[in-house]
């Protein structure tokens, strides 16, 4: 299966995608993780990305596209993948679609993890990560027993440099402006599903897994594999079926309005040529019919007159 996990920073998509990796045994590619690794390693790419990351801005598209292209070309990705934090804007989504179309393996699902903004602020500014084992805590919701120390391994807890309040505000603003439009993008493709990202991690994981399984079952039934050989048209047709049931997030109603407007335009367009045809047709027909009749009527009496003489 080929999945994009959508969601604002702090929506928990990173945590959920790691659980999905364990359950479905497919790799997860997180552009945020890859960029952080490049920054830690002090590579050229990392140096380029750091300033944008610290400011809460997006890193240049060509940088992240290069990283993703490399990952999708690995043998690991042949049996499917989970993309976390990518795409982040419409041009990235279009490039991803083009990349996947070239190998005949279109995206099957865009799963939005939906969380309110106030919750996101607390989750992000309160987040602490163990520098040794990677365990994640939150000083508001899930604090460690000893402040600053990991319960599991005793490692030091770290505060991500882009989790301070100013950067978090920026990241959420960037999300609203650049990433949220992807909700409409994938909904238009019939690939969007939404899970509420609040409650316990296991409850959220259950609803995400349910969505994935509901989505993948019909695909498997018609022979659209989770690995190679998926046919785009079939996958899209099947994937489109459960859309009406979707309990969408905030962006969904906006799109519903747009969709309703579309058929009206179509109706007007269809009506126009009919009127033109109806009006034009009788006039031409009348002229054509009138011409021969006159000719016949006038000619007939003359011939008759000649015969009488
Ligand atoms: P994340 O861990 O996904 O929240 O990403 C952390 C930071 O990495 C973001 O605030 C961006 O600066 C950068 N980043 C991650 N993914 C992307 C992407 N797809 N496009 C551009 N920048 C990204």
* pLDDT of the residue at 277: 38
For residue 51, the CA-to-ligand 1 centroid distance in Å is: 12
Record the pTM: 0.68
Q: Among 12, 49, 53, 63, name the best residue to mutate to test ligand 1's pocket (greatest count of ligand atoms within 8 A of Cβ).
A: 53
Largest CA distance in the chain: 131
* pLDDT of the residue at 286: 39
* pLDDT of the residue at 223: 53
* pLDDT of the residue at 118: 87
In the residue annotation, 160 being an active-site residue is answered as: yes
CA distance 36 to 41: 9
Ligand 1 atom nearest the C-alpha of 9 is 4
In the residue annotation, 123 being an active-site residue is answered as: no
Residue appearing with tokens 């790691």: 18
Neighbours of 295 (CB within 10 A): 10
80 CB near ligand 1 (under 6 Å):
no
Which residues of the chain, if any, have pLDDT below 70?
218-309
In the residue annotation, 128 being an active-site residue is answered as: no
Peptide bond into 87 cis (omega under 30): yes
CA distance 29 to 70: 11
Q: Which one of the listed residues 127, 187, 191, 193 is annotated catalytic?
A: 127
In the residue annotation, 13 being an active-site residue is answered as: yes
* Tokens, residue 276: 């033109």
For residue 27, the CA-to-ligand 1 centroid distance in Å is: 18
7 CB near ligand 1 (under 6 Å):
no
């Amino acid at each position: 299966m080929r999945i994009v996990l959508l969601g604002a920073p702090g929506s928990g998509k990173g945590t959920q995608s790691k659980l999905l990796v364990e359950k479905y045994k497919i790799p997860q590619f997180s552009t945020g993780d890859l960029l952080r690794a490049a920054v830690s390693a002090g590579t050229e790419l990392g140096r380029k990305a750091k300033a944008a990351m610290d400011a809460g801005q997006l890193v240049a598209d060509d940088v992240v596209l290069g990283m993703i292209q490399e990952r999708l070309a690995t043998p690991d990705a042949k049996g499917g993948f989970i993309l976390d934090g990518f795409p982040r804007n419409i041009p990235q989504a279009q490039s991803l679609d083009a990349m996947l179309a070239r190998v005949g393996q279109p995206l099957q699902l865009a799963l939005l993890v939906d969380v309110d903004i106030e919750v996101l602020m607390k989750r992000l500014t309160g987040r602490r990560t163990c520098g040794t084992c990677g365990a994640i805590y939150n000083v508001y919701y899930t604090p460690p027993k000893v402040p600053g120390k990991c319960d599991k391994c005793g490692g030091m807890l770290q505060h991500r440099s882009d989790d301070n309040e100013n950067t978090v505000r920026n990241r959420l603003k960037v999300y609203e402006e650049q990433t949220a439009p992807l909700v409409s993008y994938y909904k238009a493709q019939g690939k969007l599903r939404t899970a509420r990202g609040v409650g316990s991690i296991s409850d959220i994981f259950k609803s995400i897994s349910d969505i994935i399984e509901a989505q993948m079952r019909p695909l498997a039934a018609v022979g659209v594999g989770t690995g190679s050989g998926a046919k785009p048209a079939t996958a899209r047709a099947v994937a489109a079926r459960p859309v009406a049931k979707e309990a969408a997030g905030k962006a969904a109603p906006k799109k519903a309005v747009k969709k309703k407007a579309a058929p009206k335009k179509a109706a007007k367009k269809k009506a126009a040529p009919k009127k033109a045809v109806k009006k034009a047709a009788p006039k031409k027909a009348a002229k054509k019919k009138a011409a021969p009749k006159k000719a016949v009527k006038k000619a007939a009496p003359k011939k008759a007159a000649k015969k009488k003489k």
